[in-house]
Chains A and B, each alone.
Chain A
Amino acid sequence: MAANLKRDPEDLRQKFYWFCLWPAFMVLIAVTLAPTIYLFVISFTPLDLTRPETSWDFSKPLGQYKIIWEDKRLHNSWWVQAKLSFWTVLIQMILGFLFALFLNVKSKLLEALRTVFLIPMVLPPIVVAIIWKVLYTPDISPFHWAAEGLGFMVPALITDPDWALWAIIIADIWEWFPFVMLMILSALQMMPEEYIEAAKIDGANVWQMTWYVTIPYLKGVLIVAALFRIVDSIKAFPLIYILTDGGPGSLTEVTNYYSFMQAFNFSYLGYSSAITVTLVIATILASWGIIRLVGWGKPID
């Protein structure tokens, strides 16, 4: 009886927590898990909205996945995605790291300017895309005017086969390098003074200090920032939709964009679902990686 009395408040507490958690959990399952399962189910059918008989047709469940194996245009999109992700993330990491190192000084001016660096990444992605559309359209772009004024002939980057992907890479770098920079900067400012003092006493020069002290200290932040950027680069949509529409040809057609076209331009929802399932699996693996590296609930940014 006495033991019962003792345990009761603890039981009550657990019940209360479950009562709080339950609605959130149910809604989360309803809006995210259920649709994902539905997506998996669709990917086993050749669903085509123009042919109603194809819905719920499970006669060849792996048919769509077989097409993935053979579709050259999809393989091209992986390659484009790999190039886009590699170059954007690499350059953002380098720029972010360098600028963070330079800007890591105690200064009131810099504190105030932090907000300015937030601008590119908080702007609606569609506005970022429109801004770069203006900058890349020769009739109206100040860059093209300036180049012509100096006597250079610059091709319209977004329609030039050699430059189209780089046009997107440049815009993406502008949008997201401040994210990397600010993440590294806040980690740098928490770096213990003793590390630097000790290295100075040992006579380390600037390069040695960066290589042997700063980079190892920042390893965690660098990996997390890169992973976040890689995952986000898989989602890149508005820039491609507004600037190049996947073209010229399929030179800027990333996997996400190709999947969108299959579903909503050609109405092959079954095939698009199968492609998207592969994207989701890639995302889950990356998320799992992040959790393994930083743990849950620790402040990341």
Chain B
Amino acid sequence: MTDQVQILRTANRHRLRRERILLYILIACLVTAVMFPFVWILIMSFKPSADMFAWPPKVFFAPTFDHYLGLWDGEFPKSFWNSLVTSVGSTVAAMLFGVPGAYALSRMAYKTGSRLSLFILASRMAPPIAFTIPYFLAYRYIGLHDTLFGLILIYLTFNLSLVIWLMRSFFDAIPRTLEEAAWIDGANMWQGFTKIILPMSGPGLAATAILCFLYSWNDFFFALILTRTEATTAPVAVVNFLDHEGWQWGKIAAGGTMVMLPVLVFSVAVRKFLISGMSAGAVKG
């Protein structure tokens, strides 16, 4: 009897171990499939031009910074700066308008919020070309074509609704009793909002701001159509290497790496912020 149990247990353990190994193989394949294409670009950006087309591909080569130095000498730094200014500008504007609005929506009667929701979701989902055509025509007329301000303005089309959408759910997680207690202690409503609620939503604010920054930074379509030479952003500049300067793969890879670098750094930050933001809300609530 005990022997039988023993045998069963051992068999079970073997099966479990087999499943574990299978799982790890699957994970390894998946991680490779996800990582490989993007690691390849990273490696390419350090490959000397002479080795670029080498067959068999050189695994070991003397890394070079030539492609990055080449970027530095051209127009690329300016477009990188343009990307930074438009992304930060649009994030700040969206937060300034959106955060108080989200707070109000969270505290108001439910009906108003659900009526607005379709409008907000639709504006987030609409194909970018729906906004591009009217903005293009209007900007030509009022002289905002190829300006940083023009880009900041059109980035509000998705950023403002994103802020309202996300911050509202963060505010919903903070109990009303907190501001009510502050009002009883003599604070006015504005103080209740700025002194009690905002300091508590730090992680939520940070996560939302970073997401806004990423969405603006990743934009390609609006910048492609609404800029020409002055306000070109980094993604458009990288694509220009593809079109006009005769397939400079090294520069393309280096430019692509520069464009994705801030995104990777911030995404890791957002993950932590999102998790801690949610758990903080749950614990304190």
Q: Which of A2-44 contact B (CB under 8 A)?
A: 12-14, 16-21, 23-25, 27-28, 31-33, 35-36, 38-39, 42
Judged by a CB distance under 8 angstroms, whether B242 is at the interface is yes
Judged by a CB distance under 8 angstroms, whether B81 is at the interface is no
Judged by a CB distance under 8 angstroms, whether B259 is at the interface is yes
Select from chain B the residue with minimum beta-carbon distance to A178: B34
Count of chain A residues near B, Cβ 8 A:
83
Question: A24-B164, A28-B123, A116-B35 are contacts. A12–B189 as well, Cβ < 8 Å?
Answer: yes
Chain A residues near B138: list those with CB within 8 A. Answer: 35, 38
Select from chain B the residue with minimum beta-carbon distance to A236: B127
Judged by a CB distance under 8 angstroms, whether B113 is at the interface is yes
Classify the interface of chain B: helix, strand, loop or mixed.
helix
Question: A237-B128, A287-B122 are contacts. A119–B57 as well, Cβ < 8 Å?
Answer: no
Interface string of B98-120 (1 = CB under 8 A from A): 10111111011000011011111
Question: A16-B189, A21-B105, A124-B217 are contacts. A130–B256 as well, Cβ < 8 Å?
Answer: yes
Interface string of A170-184 (1 = CB under 8 A from B): 000010001000000
The reply to whether B121 and A287 form a contact with Cβ atoms under 8 Å apart is yes
The reply to whether A21 and B133 form a contact with Cβ atoms under 8 Å apart is no
The reply to whether B134 and A42 form a contact with Cβ atoms under 8 Å apart is yes
Judged by a CB distance under 8 angstroms, whether B10 is at the interface is no
Q: What separation, in Å, do the CA atoms of A242 and B239 have in the docked complex?
A: 8
Judged by a CB distance under 8 angstroms, whether A166 is at the interface is no
Q: Which of B36-55 contact A (CB under 8 A)?
A: 37-38, 40-41, 44, 52-53, 55
Chain A residues near B114: list those with CB within 8 A. Answer: 295-296
Judged by a CB distance under 8 angstroms, whether A203 is at the interface is no
Judged by a CB distance under 8 angstroms, whether B246 is at the interface is no
Which of under 10, 10 to 19, 20 to 34, or 35 or more describes the interface residues of B? 35 or more
Q: What separation, in Å, do the CA atoms of A296 and B123 have in the docked complex?
A: 15
The reply to whether A142 and B57 form a contact with Cβ atoms under 8 Å apart is yes
Select from chain B the residue with minimum beta-carbon distance to A273: B133
Judged by a CB distance under 8 angstroms, whether A151 is at the interface is no
Q: What separation, in Å, do the CA atoms of A27 and B137 have in the docked complex?
A: 19
Minimal beta-carbon separation of B277 from chain A (angstroms): 12
Judged by a CB distance under 8 angstroms, whether B214 is at the interface is yes
The reply to whether B37 and A122 form a contact with Cβ atoms under 8 Å apart is no
Judged by a CB distance under 8 angstroms, whether A269 is at the interface is yes
Q: What separation, in Å, do the CA atoms of A119 and B35 have in the docked complex?
A: 8
Stretch from A61-69, A132-140, A187-195, A213-221 forming part of the interface with B:
A132-140
Judged by a CB distance under 8 angstroms, whether B64 is at the interface is no
Judged by a CB distance under 8 angstroms, whether B200 is at the interface is no
Q: What separation, in Å, do the CA atoms of A127 and B130 have in the docked complex?
A: 24
Chain B residues near A39: list those with CB within 8 A. Answer: 130, 133-134
Q: What separation, in Å, do the CA atoms of A160 and B13 have in the docked complex?
A: 51
Please tell me which one of the listed residues B122, B133, B238 contacts residue A283 in the complex, with CB atoms under 8 A apart: B122
Q: Which of B225-240 contact A (CB under 8 A)?
A: 225, 235, 238-239
The reply to whether B118 and A127 form a contact with Cβ atoms under 8 Å apart is no
Judged by a CB distance under 8 angstroms, whether A249 is at the interface is no
Judged by a CB distance under 8 angstroms, whether A50 is at the interface is no
Judged by a CB distance under 8 angstroms, whether B156 is at the interface is yes
